[in-house]
Amino acid sequence: MSKRAIIIPVLVLGTAAALLFTIKGHWTSWQGGSAEQRTDDAYVRADMTPMSTRISGTVKKVDVEDYEAVVPGQTLVELDDADYRATLAQTEAALAGSQAALANNQATKQIQDAKVQNAEAMVQQAAAAMAAAQAGVDSVQPDVTRSDLERTRQQALLDARATTHQQYELAIADATRFSGLLASRQADLQRAQAALSSSRTLVEAEKRQRVALNTQDALYQADIRAKQAGIVVAQVNLGYTHIAAPTGGVVGERHVQVGQLVAPGMQVIDLVQGGVWIQANFKETQLTNMRRGDDADIRVDTFPDAVLHGKVVEIAPASGSQFALLPPDNATGNFTKVVQRIPVKIKLDPGHTLPAGLRPGFSVIVTVHTSAHARSEVQKP
């Protein structure tokens, strides 16, 4: 075998190995440093709102068809509202009853005020009667003292045979009469004192009853506020029987039919909003020079002849795998390195004429131009 036959295979294998190691060591930098980054892992997206129920009820009417365009505020689904209207009427009636009770309590307070005034007037009358009784006692007391002295004096004169039995008997009669009159006036005074004490007790009782009415007033007012809040809740629940579109767009498939019983949180219909944007999933090695504001060209598979233009508006803060329901755990012994995909949001240029029939979910091919950013990064000190 000649040397030539040995050297040529060795040179070929050496060159292939050098190329392999060079490509393996610099492929990532070559890919990330490219002025244009392209991916076909991209789709048309739009904001979708799953319309759900806030209350339970029976579907009364579905006002839209599948894939029908709607305007903001348009009713999509109606639930039977008979129960909720009855609840609202019941709450309103309860509020009217509480308000009537409050008004009745106000009238009772006025009557109680009159009772307090009457009791206070009775106290004043009893005080005047007691003062009059005391004056009567005071007016009789001198006559009692005088008649007692006269009886004693007549007794002494009779013992000295200086007066007659008739004069002595008159003195005894006067003393007895004035004593009885004093006792009567003292009884009147005691009755007046008792009446005054009773009147004062009545005033205190009437005032306490007035305070109790004030407490009932506060209870009625609190009950009214609770009933008013109940009316608001009933009105809100009644409003929930009409499920309306929060924005304009196109409805998806209907998930309920007339007569179906729905529960809170149940999805009844989907609403796809009008504005569309592009989600492109680039490899992590393609994001070296990609920045917000980069220009992008979009080709839709459905419309291959149309080229749309847009700009990068956001780059996801994490790879798509991190947002999965079950994120991968690479802390295992059988680890295999896989290049991750990072979602990039691209917004179409305003005023751009979109192809008719462009729908969320269409596959697209996205090319992002990063050359301007790459040059600016290189020029920075």
Homologous superfamily (CATH) of 83-239 is Helix Hairpins (1.10.287.620)
pLDDT for the residue numbered 33? 58
Q: Which of 2, 47, 3 is nearest to 273 (CA)?
A: 47
Residues with Cβ within 8 Å of 24's Cβ and at least 6 positions away in sequence, in order, are: none
Distance from C-alpha of 42 to C-alpha of 361, rounded to nearest angstrom = 9
Mean pLDDT across the stretch 27-41?
Answer: 70
Question: What would the pLDDT profile of 277-290 be if each residue is shown by its tens digit?
Answer: 999 999 888 888 88
Say which range, 12-21, 32-41, 346-355, has the weakest mean pLDDT: 12-21
DSSP state of 284: G
Q: Is the pLDDT of residue 24 over 70?
A: no
Burial of 260 (0-12, 13-18, 19+ CB in 10 A): middle
Question: What would the pLDDT profile of 161-193 be if each residue is shown by its tens digit?
Answer: 777 777 777 878 877 877 788 787 778 778 878
Domain ranges, ordered by start, for the chain: 31-72+249-329+336-369, 83-239
Q: Which of 3, 29, 80 is nearest to 289 (CA)?
A: 29
What is the pTM (predicted TM-score) of this model?
0.63
Say which range, 111-115, 158-162, 195-199, 274-278, has the weakest mean pLDDT: 158-162
pLDDT for the residue numbered 185? 79
Alpha helices in the chain (DSSP H): 3-32, 82-159, 165-239, 371-379
Q: Is the pLDDT of residue 378 over 70?
A: no
CATH class label, 31-72+249-329+336-369: mainly beta
Q: Which of 170, 211, 350, 366 is nearest to 286 (CA)?
A: 366
pLDDT for the residue numbered 18? 65
pLDDT for the residue numbered 223? 92
Distance from C-alpha of 121 to C-alpha of 229, rounded to nearest angstrom = 45
